[in-house]
Structure 1
C-alpha cells in the first residue's frame, strides 16, 4: 500500500512539474520554415554550389535522395535581430548538412555537420543548432544543403533568437531527463516485480519501459555524450527500429495482463499479431533511405492506430467481464492513446520547446509506465495477501491437526513431530531424555459420578498445570482419554523423579471441585529413560510398563523403569504418596 501511494504521489509530482515547465516557457518568438515552400535545387554531390538564379521556387523537389538538395529560405521582412539568430534543424537522416547564412550586405557564413560528427551543434530533442555570428546588418536568407536526405517531409526547421533558444534547450533537457528517469525506475521496478511475482506482464512491461529509455536517450541525443560517432543516420535508424519494437512489447504486456480468460482469444491474438507485424516492419523501415518513406511511415502509423484500438477493445472486454486489473490498465493505456490522437489531429511539431510529438510520446510513456506500475503493485499486493491468507489457513489447519481440541496441548501426532528432533540426537552428550506417562486415577468413576462435563474440566485443569512446565526442555501432550505424556531432557534420574513427584503432589493437592462437594484427583506416573538410540516405540513400551506397575501398586505414585533390571516388580523404583 505504501508503494502504491508513493507511485501516485510521483505521478502527481511529474504532472505538476510538467505544468510548471510549461508555465515557465517564455512566449515563443520562433519562426518555422516550411521546406515545402522554399526555393530548391538538386545537384550531384560534389558539384560547386548552385548560383542564386538557378533555384526553382515552384513545384516540389525530386530525385534528391541520392543527390544534394539545396533549400533557400527568404528571411526578408521577418525582423530577425542582427547576429542573434539560431537555426534549428530537427531531422538527422542525411549524410551531410551545410547551413549558410547570407546577410543583407552580401556577406556569408556557413558551417557543416556530417552523419557521425555533429561537433558542438547537437542539442537535446534530436536538434541541430547553428548560431549566426553577430553582424551589423540583418539576415537576407538561409541556404541548407543536404546530401542524401531521406525525405523533405520529415524536415523540421525553425529560427529563434539565442536567449529563447537557450531557455528552450534547458527546459527540453530537464523534461527529457525527468521522463527518462521515470521510465528507468519503472523498468527496474517491473523487472524486480517479474522476479518476485513470476508474472509475464511485469517482464514485458519492464522490457517496454527499457526499450523506451533506449529510444528516448537516442532520440534526445543524450547518448552522444558517450558515443558522438553515432550522430545522424545511425541514431535515426535505431530510433525507428526501437519505436516499432516498443509497440510490440507494450501490446504483449497489455494483452497478457488481462489474460487468460479476460478477453476473447481471437481479439488478443489479433492484437499480438498486429504488434508483431509492426515490430518486424520496423527493421526494414529503419534502413530505408530512398523511395516513398512517408508512405511507409503512414502504413506503420495506421497499423499502430489499429493496434491501439485492438488493445483498447481487449481492455474494455476484460473490464466488462469483471477482470480486476483491466480498469487500472485501461486508465494507463488511455494516456498514450490520447497522446497519439493529439499527434494525429493537431500539429504538435512546434510544441514543448521543439520536442514536438516525440517529447509528447516520451511524457505519455513515462506516465503510462508509472500508472501501470501502480496497477501491477496493487495486483501483486492483492495476490500476496491472498497467498498469505491461504498459507495462514493451511498453517492453522496443520496446527489444529497437531493439537488436542479440548486441552490445546499437542495430540499424539503433534507430540511425535515435536520430540522427533530430540530423539534424532541420540548420541548427543548429557543425560538421556526421559518419557513420563501421566494417567489420572479412577477417571471413569469421575465421569460416571458427576458427568462428562466435570471430567472435561478436570482434564483441562490438569492440562493447564502441565502446560506451565512446557519449555524447550519439556514437551507436553495429551495422548487420549485421561493419559498425558511428557518428554524431558537434560535431567538426571534423581531430578526426573523429583520433577515427576512434584507434579504428582500438585495434582493431588489441587481442588477440582465444581460444586459444594470437594473433588480430589490423583495421578499415577510411569517413567522410562532412553537407552542409547532406542526408538520412541520401545521407549513408550517401557514407560507404559512403569505406569502399569504404578497402577498395580496402588496408584498415586511415580515408578521409574530401571535400566537393565529384569522384568517384574524389581525393575522399577517407586515414589508413593500414601
Structure 2
C-alpha cells in the first residue's frame, strides 16, 4: 500500500509539474485588458435582463469612481482588439459582481450581447476561476467589445484578457489538469494527516490535515471546480468564501508550523507574536470577505502587509528552531520554504497575469501541493524513526525482562520465570475445582534431580558439572511447549509442569524424560548412561498452590532417591505421615 500511495503521489506531482511548465511553451500571447489600456464609464445599473443604454462618453483615465453601487462600463481599445486575432475569446478572471454583460460589436452594425449573473454562469464558467465569452462567427469582422459590470466590488482587481480561441481550449485543458492534480494531492494529504494524527496522537498532523482540508475547499471554490456540483454558488458568494478560507488557511498553517516545532526550540515571545499576527489575519478576513463596497483595496493591502509580517515571523521561528537543533525544523524546512517564498513574492511582485490568469492563486495551490507531499514524506520518516526507536526500546525491555526470568547457564526458565509461567495453569485448576487424579485434564509437576552430581563436580571439576547441566537442559527443552513448561529451579534440580494429562500419561512422560536424559552423551566427561536423574511426580489437587505441589513432588523425588535413584516415583505411591510441623513427608528414614 505504501508503494502504491508513493507512486500515486509521484504521478500527480509529475502531472502538476508538467502543467506548471506548460506556460513556457505557449505560442500565442495573451492580450490583457486593464484600466490603463481601456476606456471606462460609470452608469446606473439597468433592470435585470436589460443591456442598458451605453454611455455617450468613455473616459480613458485609469481611475473610475462611484461604480460600486452602479454599473462600470469598459470599452476595449481597437489596438488591443486588433492584436487578439480574428477569433478572440474573452476571459474574465474576477467574479465579485452581481452581473456581467459583454457586447460584441461587428463592422456591419450588429451587436451580440452575452451575460452571466451571480448564481448563474451557465456554460460560460471555466476551471481556474475564469468566465469565457465567445463571439459568434459572422461574415463581418469584430469591431469592438464592451463589458458592463453591475455592482463590481473593486475595479483595480478586475482581470480580463483576449486570447485566440484554439489557444483558449489548450489552456483550459492544461489548467484543469493542474488544478485536478493539486486538489487530489491536497485531499490525499488531508486524509493521510488525519490518519497520522490518530495513529501517533500528535497535534501537528491534525493541524496539517485541517489546513489541507481548508486548502481543498479554497482551491475548489477559487478554480470554480465546485460549480460541477453547486452551480448556484457562482459569483460573489464563492469569491467571498475564498477570501474567508484563505485567511483561515493562513491561521491553520501557522499553528501547524508551531506545533511541529518543539516549544523549547522557539522563544516564547516569538511564538506568541506569531500566533497573534495569524489570529489577526484570520479576523481581518471576516469583514473583508463580506465587504462589497468601500475601501476594499485598503483592507486588502493591509491584509497583505500582515501576511508578509506573518511569513517573516514564521520563517524566523523555523530558522531559530533549526539553529537550536530542532529535528522537525530540519526535516520540514523544504516543505515550508516553497510556500513562504511563493506567498512572499506574490505579495511584492504582480503575478496576476501568470499561468494564464491563474496568477498567485495557481502558484499558492501548486506550492501547497508541494508542501503537502513534502510534509507527508518527512512526517512519515520522522514518526517511523520514532516508532522504530520505540519498538527497539520495547524489544530491549522485553529482552531484559525475559533475561531476568532465564537461568544464565542453561537458558531454561529460572524459578521466577517458572512461577510466572505456571501461575495461569494452577489458577485454572483452583477455579474449576480440579479434576480427579484419573481424569485426563489435570496439572502435573515433574521434579528432577541429577543423581550423584556432587561426585561429578568432585571428580571432573565444576566446569564439567556445568557442561553436564547444559547438555541435560538442552535435551529437557525439547519437551517445552504450550502444554509443558520446563525450568531449572537451582543447582542440579530441574522441573517440568504439564497440563492435560492424567496419572498414567504423567507417569509415561516422566519415564520418557528420565530415559531421554539418561541417554545424553556428555562427550569426554561421561558417556551415555553414566549420568542419570531421579524424578518425583505430583498431580495438582484442588486448593494446591505451587508450594504445596512442590512439597508433594519433592517427597516423591525423595522416595525415588531412597529406592535407588534413576527412577520415577509418583506421589500416590508414597506412604505419608504428618510431621509435627504439619508437612507431608514420606515414611523414609534416610537415603544413601
- For normalisation by structure 2, the TM-score amounts to 0.90
The SS at the match of 2:139 is: coil
2:26: which partner in 1? 26
Q: Does 1:310 align with 2:317?
A: no
2:181: which partner in 1? 178
Structure 1 window deviating more from structure 2 (135-144 vs 110-119): it is: 135-144
* Alpha-carbon offset, residue 259 of structure 1: 1.8
Q: What does 1:5-24 align with in structure 2 at a 5 Å threshold?
A: 9-10=10-11, 13-14=14-15, 16-18=17-19, 21-22=22-23
* C-alpha distance in structure 2 between counterparts of 1:391 and 1:207, whole Å: 33
The SS at the match of 1:371 is: helix
Q: What does 1:81-230 align with in structure 2 at a 5 Å threshold?
A: 84-230=87-233
2:536 to 511, 526, 532: 526
Contact 2:72/2:148, CA 8 A, preserved across alignment: yes
* Alpha-carbon offset, residue 223 of structure 1: 0.6
The SS at the match of 1:65 is: coil
1:326: which partner in 2? 329
Structure 1 window deviating more from structure 2 (79-88 vs 399-408): it is: 79-88
* C-alpha distance in structure 1 between counterparts of 2:84 and 2:356, whole Å: 20
2:39: which partner in 1? 39
1:258: which partner in 2? 261
Contact 2:518/2:533, CA 8 A, preserved across alignment: yes
1:494: which partner in 2? 504
Q: What does 1:132-531 align with in structure 2 at a 5 Å threshold?
A: 132-426=135-429, 427=432, 430-512=440-522, 514=524, 520-531=530-541
- Change over 3 Å in CA distance of 1:567–1:421 after alignment to 2: same
Contact 1:82/1:137, CA 8 A, preserved across alignment: no
Contact 1:562/1:571, CA 8 A, preserved across alignment: no
* Alpha-carbon offset, residue 562 of structure 1: 0.6
Q: Does 1:58 align with 2:61?
A: yes
Contact 2:251/2:282, CA 8 A, preserved across alignment: yes
Unaligned runs of 5+ in 1: none
* Alpha-carbon offset, residue 506 of structure 1: 4.0
1:558: which partner in 2? 568
Q: Deviations over 1:16-50 (max 9, x none)?
A: 53366345x53123211112443222222237835
- Change over 3 Å in CA distance of 1:431–1:40 after alignment to 2: closer
* C-alpha distance in structure 2 between counterparts of 1:59 and 1:273, whole Å: 38
Structure 1 window deviating more from structure 2 (287-296 vs 450-459): it is: 450-459
Q: Deviations over 1:268-315 (max 9, x none)?
A: 222222111111111111001111111111111111111111111111
Q: Does 1:547 align with 2:554?
A: no
Contact 1:560/1:573, CA 8 A, preserved across alignment: no
Contact 2:41/2:55, CA 8 A, preserved across alignment: no
The SS at the match of 2:46 is: coil
Contact 1:208/1:250, CA 8 A, preserved across alignment: yes
The SS at the match of 1:336 is: helix
The SS at the match of 1:79 is: helix
The SS at the match of 1:270 is: helix
* Alpha-carbon offset, residue 320 of structure 1: 1.4
* Alpha-carbon offset, residue 82 of structure 1: 7.7
The SS at the match of 2:541 is: coil
Q: Deviations over 1:510-563 (max 9, x none)?
A: 444645999933322111111235332221121112122233444333221118
* C-alpha distance in structure 1 between counterparts of 2:160 and 2:328, whole Å: 44
Q: Deviations over 1:382-426 (max 9, x none)?
A: 111111101111110111121111110011121122222222332
- Change over 3 Å in CA distance of 1:248–1:19 after alignment to 2: closer
The SS at the match of 1:333 is: helix
* C-alpha distance in structure 1 between counterparts of 2:61 and 2:441, whole Å: 109
* C-alpha distance in structure 2 between counterparts of 1:566 and 1:477, whole Å: 27
* C-alpha distance in structure 2 between counterparts of 1:389 and 1:70, whole Å: 72
Contact 2:101/2:113, CA 8 A, preserved across alignment: yes
* Alpha-carbon offset, residue 244 of structure 1: 0.6
- Change over 3 Å in CA distance of 1:11–1:220 after alignment to 2: closer
- Change over 3 Å in CA distance of 1:11–1:258 after alignment to 2: farther
Contact 2:555/2:586, CA 8 A, preserved across alignment: no
Structure 1 window deviating more from structure 2 (80-89 vs 257-266): it is: 80-89
* Alpha-carbon offset, residue 10 of structure 1: 4.8
* C-alpha distance in structure 2 between counterparts of 1:161 and 1:69, whole Å: 26
- For normalisation by structure 1, the TM-score amounts to 0.92
How many aligned positions are there? 574
* C-alpha distance in structure 1 between counterparts of 2:587 and 2:185, whole Å: 79
Contact 1:285/1:296, CA 8 A, preserved across alignment: yes
* C-alpha distance in structure 1 between counterparts of 2:551 and 2:526, whole Å: 40
The SS at the match of 1:87 is: strand
- Change over 3 Å in CA distance of 1:11–1:51 after alignment to 2: closer
The SS at the match of 1:434 is: strand
* C-alpha distance in structure 2 between counterparts of 1:399 and 1:53, whole Å: 96
The SS at the match of 2:105 is: strand
* Alpha-carbon offset, residue 83 of structure 1: 6.5
- Change over 3 Å in CA distance of 1:60–1:20 after alignment to 2: closer
* Alpha-carbon offset, residue 52 of structure 1: 4.6
Unaligned runs of 5+ in 2: none
- Change over 3 Å in CA distance of 1:94–1:567 after alignment to 2: same
RMSD: 2.8
- Change over 3 Å in CA distance of 1:517–1:69 after alignment to 2: closer
Q: Does 1:49 align with 2:52?
A: yes
Structure 1 window deviating more from structure 2 (511-520 vs 551-560): it is: 511-520
Contact 1:8/1:374, CA 8 A, preserved across alignment: no
Q: Deviations over 1:80-139 (max 9, x none)?
A: 678622111111011111111222333211122111111111111111111111122333
* C-alpha distance in structure 2 between counterparts of 1:462 and 1:568, whole Å: 35
* Alpha-carbon offset, residue 51 of structure 1: 4.5
